[in-house]
Structure 1
Amino acid sequence: MLTVPYFVPSFAGDASAAVLEVMESGWVTTGPRAAAFEEEFAAYLGAAHVVAVSTCSAAIELSLRALALPPGSAVLTPSLTFCSAVGAIINARLRPVLIDIDEHTLVPTPDTVAAAVRRAGKPAAMVVTHMAGYPVDAKELAAAAGLPRERVVEDVAHGPGGLLRGAPIGSDSYAACFSFYATKNLPIGEGGAVATYDAELAARLRAMRLHGMTKDAWKRYLPGGSWRYDVAELGMKANFTDLQAVIGSAQLRALPGMQARRHELAARYDAALAGLPGLRLPQRPANGHSWHLYQVRLRDRTTVDVALGEAGIGTSVHFIPVHQLTAYAKALGPQECASVPATDRVAEELLSLPLYPALSDEKQDLVISALAEALDGRPC
């Protein structure tokens, strides 16, 4: 057993009772509680619409498919992301084109976007990733790519909790895609959502998440409802259930406290790790980081990671760049895989330390001590 696990989920105290209530209600799939959660999450973000779906991966794929681009159209994306974000582009029958990142912030910049456009030509769309919770200005990147904002899909799996110019990420997005996976800032276990200002997109996504059906089961089986429905546009099975929704509602009420703790822990890491030899701290924006991850850079990551493991400290790496994975390297081709040198350099050094609301000061101090010991005497 690890002394300090990499992650331990936290659940609001009233989540269990809410789940039992749904189970006893006789309706556990997509229904009124899922709709209520969508409204609550939209209010939290300040977004016009939220459509809850099965995963963030599904949210990205559905948002791309809703753009109705010609098959094979080029979609810009960073490679320092989870593989499913690029998989969503391929599954939507589109073509990923890689964007390199800034070595300090770990996210694309207008310059790296412009460089990708010069290399590969003007894209049809772009997926923007708020890596680790670092807020990205999607409008700036869209302008650098020569795209309207309605061609930008934002991967906000590492939020919510992030801010851009003082407003929650997703409050003014065409398609901001969130994750509620067990390790995320708003952990439900599974689930995702798309926040949008566009009512037409929201309506299409609501149908597309249920095979494209014009009426979901709740509407069909209400008193006076009809079993008749149509499928006007092909969709997929990607709905969000009432069981997930009531956990999400409870977690949403607890989110401010959980976010406050993440910020406290990140500040403690900053203060304790500053100046350690061979280690670089994560870059802080002026404001708005959601602190989903605390990623340090290590010149000798393998040796340090082994030492931490021997000390009972759980760690992870976010991420193996997508173009380094066998199936994606084959799909992208050698020229595309060679186009992101900064990503390749940074990826060899990144290590994610434990960071979650349930992490105590005492446990975090064990992480800090073990890391300092592993780095003792190493050259800067």
Structure 2
Amino acid sequence: MSASTHQSTVPFNITSFADDVAGAVGQVLDSGWVTTGPQTAAFEKDFAAYLGAAHVVAVASCTTALELCLRALDLPPGSPVLTPSLTFCGAVNAILHAGLRPVLADIDADTLVPSPATVAAAAARVRPAAMVVQNQGGYPVDVAALTEAAGLDRTKVVEDAAHGPGAARGGAPVGSSSFAACFSFYATKNMPIGEGGAIATSDDGLADRVRAMRLHGMSKDSWRRYLPGGSWRYDVRTVGLKANMTDIQAGIGRAQLTALPEWQRRRGELVARYDELLLGAPGLVLPQRELAGVQHAWHLYQVRVPDRDAIIAELEAAGVSTSVHFIPASHMTAYQEILGAEECGSVPVTDRVAEELLSLPLYPGLAPGDQDRVAAALVEALRARG
């Protein structure tokens, strides 16, 4: 969406692009190789260096990254996997597509992510075989604490870090030492490519496994088969998916990565300004401020408000676009049919908080005047409710 699409509206998001993105795409096109190849390998190296990770494997999306990692665990079909209900539907679909069974964990109302207590409560209902943990809005979860609460080994925990680039805990970037951390480069994310994802891992075996699985389980991709001296022969040693990243995406990603630190700095400034503009507004709950040792990525600025749906309509009438992250999985028809009423009723804090959540516009190009409009419209809507 361009800034000129709706002159009178503050959009929820405007995708940011580094200055040399067009040149990066042109270089890929000029090379004559546009699918998975040298640019993808270079992007993996660059992103691994940014994270401080041993390995990065670029894939088609964060959803496919989650599914590949879960498949690579080789769990028995139908094995229970803990997941927050307050998550994107793709994360739950990944569990189901891997042939596993979601088990819902409730959240902490302040951080919007599961706590050790809520994970332990979910694990007490059914002994989990694995767990997916999510960095909601960019808040880095305490993976070690949740892993212990679930009674799991770290090799059975997959991090949904779709909102995670730029986040850190204890000085360690999200994904730097993970068994499996899955990132998204969707158009609205902190480092947008348009589509695409990546798996960061400290495990050599997992890296080798998912690298093959992203291309049907083939032992060599086409670039390596057609290099000078290469062979057309390949083997399929494990069943995989069509989930590779293209060199066009990777070229964009390499350019975007150079701009990410400045974009993250700008997000921090905007969040601090929102806090100042909105402090003391009646009935408003601001996002939890950064705690000691926690560096928030600020993918989302999520507030909690009364009468949320009516406020959304009033903001829209005032020319302010907003969004909601997320409709809980337990509220979705398909998952209700799969999980059953008892499981869907096991997350009362999620049910309550989800009715109050509202995501405000937050992106590096958000102008001060537009941010003022957002805050003023929200404060006016709240004051009208006393």
Q: TM-score range by the shorter chain?
A: over 0.9
Between the aligned partners of 1:169 and 1:223, the Cα distance in structure 2 is 38
1:142-181 pair list within 5 angstroms: 142-181=147-186
Deviations 1:197-248 (A, max 9, x none): 0011000011000000000000011111111111000000000111011111
2:257 maps to 252
Amino acid aligned to 2:124:
R
Check the 8 A contact 1:277/1:377 in 2, yes or no.
no
1:376 alignment partner, one of 366, 374, 383 = 383
Between the aligned partners of 2:64 and 2:330, the Cα distance in structure 1 is 21
Amino acid aligned to 1:228:
R
Between the aligned partners of 2:10 and 2:384, the Cα distance in structure 1 is 24
2:362 maps to 355
Between the aligned partners of 2:220 and 2:65, the Cα distance in structure 1 is 19
2:95 maps to 89
Deviations 1:307-326 (A, max 9, x none): 10001101000000011111
2:187 alignment partner, one of 179, 182, 200 = 182
1:28 maps to 34
2:10 alignment partner, one of 4, 11, 15 = 4
Asked whether 1:55 is paired with 2:64, we answer: no
Amino acid aligned to 1:334:
A
2:305 maps to 298
1:344 maps to 351
1:40 maps to 46
Between the aligned partners of 1:181 and 1:221, the Cα distance in structure 2 is 30
2:274 maps to 269
Asked whether 1:79 is paired with 2:85, we answer: yes
Between the aligned partners of 1:46 and 1:77, the Cα distance in structure 2 is 26
Amino acid aligned to 2:318:
A
1:192 alignment partner, one of 173, 192, 197 = 197
TM score, norm. by length of structure 1: 0.98
Check the 8 A contact 1:128/1:155 in 2, yes or no.
yes
Shift of 1:143: 0.4
Q: Quote the sequence identity (%).
A: 66
Shift of 1:117: 1.2
Shift of 1:375: 1.3
Between the aligned partners of 1:357 and 1:285, the Cα distance in structure 2 is 19
Say which SS state the counterpart of residue 188 (structure 2) adopts: coil
Q: Which moved more, 1:216-225 or 1:278-287?
A: 278-287
2:133 maps to 128
Runs of 4+ in 1 over 6 A off after TM superposition: none
Q: Which runs of 5+ in 1 are unaligned?
A: none
Between the aligned partners of 2:205 and 2:28, the Cα distance in structure 1 is 30
Q: Which runs of 5+ in 2 are unaligned?
A: 1-5
Shift of 1:369: 1.0
Asked whether 1:332 is paired with 2:352, we answer: no
Deviations 1:20-62 (A, max 9, x none): 1111111000001100000000000000000000000000000
Amino acid aligned to 1:242:
D
Check the 8 A contact 1:7/1:355 in 2, yes or no.
yes
Deviations 1:288-337 (A, max 9, x none): 10000000101111221111000110100000001111111111111110
Q: Which moved more, 1:206-215 or 1:217-226?
A: 217-226
1:217 maps to 222
Between the aligned partners of 1:293 and 1:85, the Cα distance in structure 2 is 18
TM score, norm. by length of structure 2: 0.97
Between the aligned partners of 2:345 and 2:360, the Cα distance in structure 1 is 29
CA RMSD of aligned residues (A): 0.8
1:239 alignment partner, one of 240, 244, 247 = 244
Asked whether 1:312 is paired with 2:312, we answer: no
Check the 8 A contact 1:208/1:235 in 2, yes or no.
yes
Shift of 1:377: 4.1
Shift of 1:165: 0.6
How many pairs does the alignment contain?
378
Check the 8 A contact 2:140/2:164 in 1, yes or no.
no
Say which SS state the counterpart of residue 279 (structure 1) adopts: coil
Check the 8 A contact 1:221/1:227 in 2, yes or no.
yes
Between the aligned partners of 2:127 and 2:148, the Cα distance in structure 1 is 12
